[in-house]
Each structure stands twice: as structure tokens, then as C-alpha cells.
Amino acid sequence: MSPLIDPLIRGLAIGGLAAFTLAVARSRAEPQAKWITALLGLSVSCWLISESASMWAALGRVWLCLPVGFLASWAFWLFVQRVFEDRPLRPWVFAPAVVLLPVGLATTVLPPREANLSGAAFNAISGVLAIHGAFVIAQGWRGDLVEGRRRARATLLGLITLFIILEVVMSFAAKLDPAGGWLRFGVNGSYGAGVLAVLIFATVAVFLETRATLFDAPRRTEAAADARAEAAERQLLQKLDGFVAAEGWRREGLTIGDLAAELETPEHRLRRLINNRLGHRNFADFLNASRIAAAQARLADPGEARTTVAAIAFDLGYGSLGPFNRAFRAATGSTPTEWRSQALSEASPSLQKTG
């Protein structure tokens, strides 16, 4: 392959990442989404540069690219968490970076044998992050109500996650069989860089097309302009209101497919209604709106003071205490126990004195 092809491929990929980062920066995305996107673009660009001997030499060995490039797998994992989980990031998400950075840097300063061990550990950690990213993408696909994001889950981001996993596998294969030519298909080879460039451009195309639904805050839309469509939507909304009023959301393990079958409507119509008319981006968020409101009423009731938080969670349809605690904190900013203590003390100060 011509020595000019490799820098050209990588330069095009970096240009695509820059365009994507700029587009998100100019959107109405939340600040957190903007800086995570910028981190992803910068780290992957540095990864592409540091893995290319020709670009590395041409740019005068920009050493800052090394540590930033080591964070590429973490930045992708962080991006997946922010875009697909629909909840603010917590401080613990920085833990993988704290581990990856020193392990990656160790591969550049240790003797060959120790550097190989450090490299193996680095690749293993990156693989775990990629696998967990794939799990997050797949886990929320059925309950995702944002159509553009569903397409991204089902196609491009899944392929990129697969690419990261294959990159890790080929890196291990190259260590076991150095003469096998495996590195040509990694990011440090032109073939691997070419595949990554294609994936980057495809991802940028999908994300630019659906940028508003992916990054902007959820917004409710007005009723459909077409009279027949509006009447059908209103009828479905009435059915959904009846479901909420009958507390159907208490059922553990309820899926949007189950609810669509119960309301006798296609699943895609129900997803569109809950997303566009009610402003929910995923089905769990829709269920949690009713469940958390009911939980707050029970936690603030002095007559329920002896009922455990776990019993309330199970009664409201949660399969375990962990998801309930996370949903409650996301909605109120405090744990159920903290919220109950505050609510009961405000309702009856005597309870706090006797407690």
C-alpha cells in the first residue's frame, strides 16, 4: 500500500470526528454531552495518530497524544453511557480512566517483557469496557422510544463495539504469533485504520441526521395535524391514561411489547406516542414517572413509616432494590430513605423528636 494512503485515511477519519464534535458543540445538547463528545473525538484522533508511524513522525512526536489516545476506549464507553442511559454521569465513571492511563503509559517506559504484560492488561481492560458498552446498547434497545437512537443502537454503534473487541483480540493474536501479520488489521495498520474510518463516517452520518433526538432535551410535541391521525392518537392516549389510572405500571417485568399488546396497538405507534406526546425517551422512564410518584406518597405517609423501602419498591413493580434506588435518586436527587426522613420530619416534627 502506498505510504501516502495511510495518513490520508487517518486524516479523513480525524476530519469526520472533528465535524461531528463541532456539530454537537453547536447543538442544544447539554454541556455534559458536549464535553464527552469532544473527549471522544480527541482521544480517537490521538489514537489514530499515535498508532501510525508516518503520522507520528510527521507531526514531530506529539507526546500528549499518547496519554489522550490511551483513553479512547474509556471515552467511547463514557459516550455510550451518556447517550443511551439517559441519566447524569456519576463520579465513579472516571475509575476506568484512572486505571487505563497508568497501565497504558507503562507500556511505553517498561522493559519489553513487562511492557508486554502491561499491554495485555491494557487490552483486557479496553475489551471489558467494549463488552459492557455492547451490553448497554443491547439492553435498552427494546425500551428505547427515540427512533433515531434505536437505529444507532441496532447498527453503527454495535459495529464499532465489535471493532473494538476485534482490535483487542487481534492485538493478543499478534503477541502470540508476531509473524502472522495480524497488526495490519489493527488500528496501527492501514487496513484496520481504513475499516475504522468507514465506521467513523457512517456513525457521523447517522448522528448528524438524528442529532436533535439524540442530544437535545426531550420535548413534547403537539397533536398530529391530520384529523384522522390525531383522532387515532387521542384514542390511544386515552387507553394509555386508563392503563396508568388502573396502576398497570405496578407489574414487574412489564415491557413496551406487553403494553402494546394489551392496548391492541402496534409497538412503534406506542413508542412514538410516549416519546412525542409525553416526552419520555425510554419506557423505563415512562414507568418510573408513575412509580416514583406513588413511592413518594407512601414514603411521606406516617402510616407507612414501618413499611421497609424494599417492600415499597417490590410492591411498585421493581424486581430489586437497586433499580428503585437509582430511579428515585435520579428523580428526586436523594435516596428513598433520605427523602422519607425529610418528608416525615416536615409533616410531623414530633416524629423526629421521638425518633
pLDDT tens-digit series, residues 157-169: 777 777 777 777 7
Mean pLDDT of the chain: 83
Residues 6+ apart with CB under 8 A from 126: 73, 100, 164, 167, 168
Residues 171 and 250 in one domain: no
| C-alpha span between 314 and 252 (Å, rounded) | 8
pLDDT band at 193 (very low <50, low <70, confident <90, very high): confident
Query: For position 131, which CATH number holds?
Result: 1.20.1070
Other CB atoms within a 10 A radius of the CB of residue 62 amount to 13
Average pLDDT on 51-62 reads 74
Question: Can you tell me the distance from the alpha carbon of 280 to that of 340, in angstroms, rounded to the nearest whole number?
Answer: 26
Measured at the alpha carbon of residue 133, what is the angle toward residues 44 and 283, in degrees to the nearest 5?
125
**Which band of pLDDT confidence, cut at 50, 70 and 90, is reported for residue 215?**
low
For residue 221, tell me if it sits in a domain: no
pLDDT given for residue 42 in this prediction: 94
Residue ranges making up the domain that contains 248: 227-354
Query: Do residue 186 and residue 232 come from a single domain?
Result: no
DSSP string of 304-346? GTTS-HHHHHHHTT-SSHHHHHHHHHHHHSS-HHHHHHHHHHH
Regarding whether 324 and 265 lie in a shared domain, the answer is yes
Asked which of 215, 245, 264 is the last residue of a domain, the reply is 215
pLDDT class of 216 with cuts at 50, 70, 90? low
Count how many domains the chain has.
2
10 near 197, Cβ under 8 Å? yes
pLDDT of 180 > 70? The answer is no
Where among 215, 241, 270 does a domain terminate?
215
For residue 220, name the pLDDT band (cuts at 50, 70, 90).
low
Angle formed at CA 100 by CA 164 and CA 192, multiple of 5 degrees:
25
Cell of 219: 420535548
- Our measurement of the distance from residue 4's CA atom to the centroid of its chain's CA atoms, rounded to an integer in Å, reads 36
- Residues 331 and 260 both lie in one domain: yes
Find residue 144's DSSP bridge partners. 282
Residue type, 71: L
Confidence band, pLDDT 50/70/90 cuts, at residue 354:
very low
Evaluate if residue 4 carries a pLDDT over 80: no
Instruction: Determine which helix (DSSP H) or strand (DSSP E) holds 32, and give its type and residue range.
Output: helix 31-50
* Same domain as 196, residue 132: yes
For residue 220, being part of any structural domain is answered with: no
Regarding whether 253 and 187 lie in a shared domain, the answer is: no
Regarding whether 235 and 210 lie in a shared domain, the answer is no
Name which of 15-24, 211-220, 281-290 the model is least confident about. Answer: 211-220
* Domain-terminating residue out of 215, 247, 280: 215
Q: Specify if 133 maps to a domain.
A: yes
The answer to whether the CB of 296 falls within 8 A of the CB of 285 is no
298 and 157 part of one domain: no
236 and 136 in a common domain: no
Asked whether residue 263 carries a pLDDT value surpassing 90, the answer given is: yes
CA distances from 26 to 47, 82, 126, 173 (A): 25, 18, 30, 42
Q: State residue 210's pLDDT score.
A: 67
Q: Are 281 and 275 in contact (CB under 8 A)?
A: yes
- Model pLDDT for residues 124-146, shown as the tens digit of each residue: 898 899 888 888 888 888 888 88
Q: Is the pTM of this model over 0.85?
A: no
pLDDT of 352 reads 45
